[in-house]
Amino acid sequence: MSIVATEKRDIRALSLPEMETALADWGEPRFRARQLYEWLWVKMVKDFDDMTNLSKELRARLKEQFTLFALFEDKVQHSADGTVKTRWITHDGHRIESVLIPVREDERYTVCVSTQVGCSLTCAFCATGRMGRKRNLESAEIFDQVTGVNAQSIEAFGRPLTNVVYMGMGEPLLTYANTMESIARLTAPPPQGLGMAARRITVSTAGIAKMIRKLADDGFRSNLALSLHAADDRKRNEIMPINESNNLAALMEALEYFYKKTKNRISYEYIAFERFNDSLEDAARLVQLCRRQFPVRVNIIEYNPIEGVVFEKSDENRLNAFAACLAREGVTVTVRRSRGKDIDAACGQLANKG
Ligand code: SF4
């Protein structure tokens, strides 16, 4: 496959009515647009030449005027624990990653998708943040990750995806329109979309207060996860520069607003770093953040050390004591053992290495 940078418009950026108008201008009958739409969104072809019920002339004209910015599989890695990491290549030569996390006991097959090429937020513990941000992913490129990984899940485990988490490379709320458009397509009934329940989708944010409020105002129906990672501003500033402009007070107010308006599920993601945020005092501060005007659950995540980063993974005893302290105070807490470590697919490790 050759990668060509082009000024042509992506055909998948057109809605069905826009396709109808474009093809009507070329003298094509109305049903042609629906055929084209089905090739693009139901059969998910990646080349105009595969649209066999369109005439050769029409295909040539489409190719001349438009392009099809699909994702192509670049590399697939399988972890010993069943996790599958896929590296995709975009039409303009960027590489991005998605991760399939199967939990067979619970019949849960989750894909973690990327929303940007790299990330601008430079969290201190994250490999993606070190790449810088190259560009946002188009909604179709986010959707392609889900359909591609869905096919992998069916092939490997005989089961389609049950959950989608927006926790891969990038900050989903900084590419808001594309994130929302991709969710609209995931939740749209077939054949337009995958018919996935909105509650099976979780968007994870590093914490941008005004965008959390916007989600609420826009009638967002999915779950929201805040990558908290520290329960006081001093420590959070140290590892997540975004906290300097979106401190915990602002985030808590935004989450309260979000919950009041949507009643959607909120969780805090909390990576435990050895002797940085895993003491009992840290746990007590986190308990306070869980006692706000909205219910919240906490996911404590095992850290996967990254080359050149000073943070270490919390010692098992400290991590257990931390979690026990939260549970004693009535907080709903889960400890997530890291998955896909051996293929750099775990939280914070996505950086196109392998
Ligand atoms: S943790 Fe998320 S928000 Fe922070 S740099 Fe990494 S990808 Fe960006």
Residue-wise pLDDT tens digits, 46-81: 999 999 999 999 999 999 999 898 999 999 999 998
329 by Cβ neighbours in 10 Å (0-12 / 13-18 / 19+) ranks as middle
Contact by Cβ (8 Å): 323, 333: yes
Same domain for 51 and 126, yes or no, is no
Which residues are marked as active site? Answer: 97, 347
Same domain for 165 and 203, yes or no, is yes
Same domain for 153 and 179, yes or no, is yes
Same domain for 17 and 108, yes or no, is no
- Angstrom distance (rounded) from CA 183 to CA 34: 22
Give pLDDT, residue 9. 86
Q: Is residue 348 part of a domain?
A: no
Domain boundary among 67, 93, 117: 67
| Domain carrying residue 234 | 72-343
CA of 58 relative to ligand 1 center, distance in Å: 43
Domain boundary among 29, 52, 67: 67
Beta strands in the chain (DSSP E): 9-10, 66-67, 72-78, 84-89, 95-103, 108-112, 116-118, 133-136, 163-166, 201-205, 223-227, 266-272, 297-302, 332-336
Half-sphere exposure of 135 (CA within 13 A, CB side): 11
Same domain for 96 and 235, yes or no, is yes
pLDDT tens digit sequence for 245-279? 999 999 999 999 999 999 999 999 999 999 999 99
Contact by Cβ (8 Å): 269, 286: no
Q: Is residue 113 part of a domain?
A: yes
In sequence order, what are the beta bridge partners of 223?
A: 202
Give pLDDT, residue 2. 43
Q: For the chain, what percent of residues have pLDDT higher than 70?
A: 94
Domain boundary among 17, 52, 67: 67
Q: Is residue 4 part of a domain?
A: no
**How many domains are there within the chain?**
2
Residue 206 CB–ligand 1 contact under 6 Å:
yes
Give pLDDT, residue 241. 96
CA of 65 relative to ligand 1 center, distance in Å: 36
Same domain for 200 and 250, yes or no, is yes
Q: Is residue 305 part of a domain?
A: yes
Q: Is residue 271 part of a domain?
A: yes
Q: Is residue 1 part of a domain?
A: no
Contact by Cβ (8 Å): 99, 167: no
pLDDT tens digit sequence for 185-216? 999 988 778 899 999 999 999 999 999 999 99
Same domain for 62 and 90, yes or no, is no
Give pLDDT, residue 3. 46
Same domain for 45 and 165, yes or no, is no
Same domain for 139 and 201, yes or no, is yes
Q: Is residue 351 part of a domain?
A: no
Distinct helix (H) and strand (E) counts, the chain = 10, 14
**Predicted confidence band at 305 (pLDDT cuts at 50, 70, 90)?**
confident
Same domain for 62 and 87, yes or no, is no
Same domain for 140 and 289, yes or no, is yes
Q: Is residue 324 part of a domain?
A: yes
Residue 173 CB–ligand 1 contact under 6 Å:
no
Same domain for 181 and 327, yes or no, is yes
CA of 204 relative to ligand 1 center, distance in Å: 10
Give pLDDT, residue 274. 96
Mutate to test the pocket of ligand 1, among 117, 126, 130 (most ligand atoms within 8 A of CB): 126
Mean pLDDT in residue range 25-29 = 95
CATH number of the domain that residue 59 is part of: 1.10.150.530
Give pLDDT, residue 76. 96
Does the pLDDT of residue 1 top 60, yes or no? no
**pTM surpassing 0.85?**
yes
CATH number of the domain that residue 320 is part of: 3.20.20.70
Give pLDDT, residue 43. 87
Give pLDDT, residue 186. 96
The per-residue pLDDT of the chain, averaged, comes to 92
The tokens describing 82, both together, are 């069943």
- Residue in this structure with the two tokens 């295909």, named with its chain if needed: 59
Q: CB 295: neighbour CB atoms within 10 A? A: 12
Geometric angle at alpha carbon 129, from 279 and 301, rounded to 5°: 35
